[in-house]
């Protein structure tokens, strides 16, 4: 195999491995965020205004019904997220700590991670929330 072919094979393998790692970190059924650049909390949890005007709204009583690992909704900063598939993927770096927020307003849990480091989630975690957005908190 000549040198150029070898380099091409190595580049292809690196791209495949990077894709697999990214897919696992985002969950198998999740879409990749178009702009992976970290964003501040104010915009990372914001959904475009055109989506918000037509978004479903859920009262906290409805969110409360989705309170287990096999059916988990979180309310964070006035938005509602269905993280059931993310939990099933086993890709949450904090393991089962996410279950504390199922069926609740989990804003404080998300911003302080009391069972972990006690620090806010990363900009990447904030940006990933849009993949699980299902509506606004009523």
Q: At 8, is the pLDDT very low, low, confident or very high (cuts 50, 70, 90)?
A: low
Can you read off the two tokens belonging to residue 129?
């929330």
DSSP string, 39-108: --HHHHTPPPHHHHHH--EE-HHHHHT-EETTEEEEEETTEEEE-HHHHHHT--TTGGGGGGGTTEE-HH
Q: How far apart are CA 3 and CA 118, in angstroms?
A: 50
What is the number of structural domains in the chain? 1
Q: How far apart are CA 87 and CA 96, in angstroms?
A: 8
Model's pTM, two decimal places?
0.62
Q: How far apart are CA 40 and CA 10, in angstroms?
A: 36
Quick one: which of 30, 102, 115, 113 has its CA closest to 68? 102
Q: Tens digits of per-residue pLDDT, 19-29?
A: 555 555 555 44
Residue 30 belongs to a domain with what CATH number? Answer: 3.10.120.10
Q: Which residue segment(s) compose the domain that 79 sits in?
A: 3-137
Q: Tens digits of per-residue pLDDT, 49-92?
A: 344 457 899 999 999 999 999 999 999 999 999 999 999 999 98
What is the average per-residue pLDDT within 40-47? 40
SS3 state at 135: strand
Q: What is the CA radius of gyration of the chain?
A: 18
What is the average per-residue pLDDT within 113-126? 84
- Residues 6+ positions from 64 with CB-CB distance below 8 Å: 103, 104
pLDDT in the model for residue 130: 94
């Amino acid at each position: 195999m000549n040198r150029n072919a070898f380099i091409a094979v190595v580049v292809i393998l690196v791209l495949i491995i990077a894709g697999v790692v990214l897919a696992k970190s985002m969950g198998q059924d999740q879409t990749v965020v178009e702009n992976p650049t970290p964003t501040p909390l104010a915009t990372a949890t914001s959904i475009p205004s055109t989506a918000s005007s037509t978004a479903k709204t859920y009262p906290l009583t409805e969110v409360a019904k989705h309170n287990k690992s096999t059916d988990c909704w979180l309310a964070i900063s006035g938005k509602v997220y269905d993280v059931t598939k993310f939990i099933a993927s086993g890709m949450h770096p904090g393991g089962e700590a996410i279950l504390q927020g199922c069926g609740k307003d989990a804003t404080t849990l998300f911003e302080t991670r009391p069972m972990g480091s006690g620090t806010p989630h990363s900009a990447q975690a904030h940006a990933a929330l849009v993949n699980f957005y299902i509506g606004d908190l009523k």
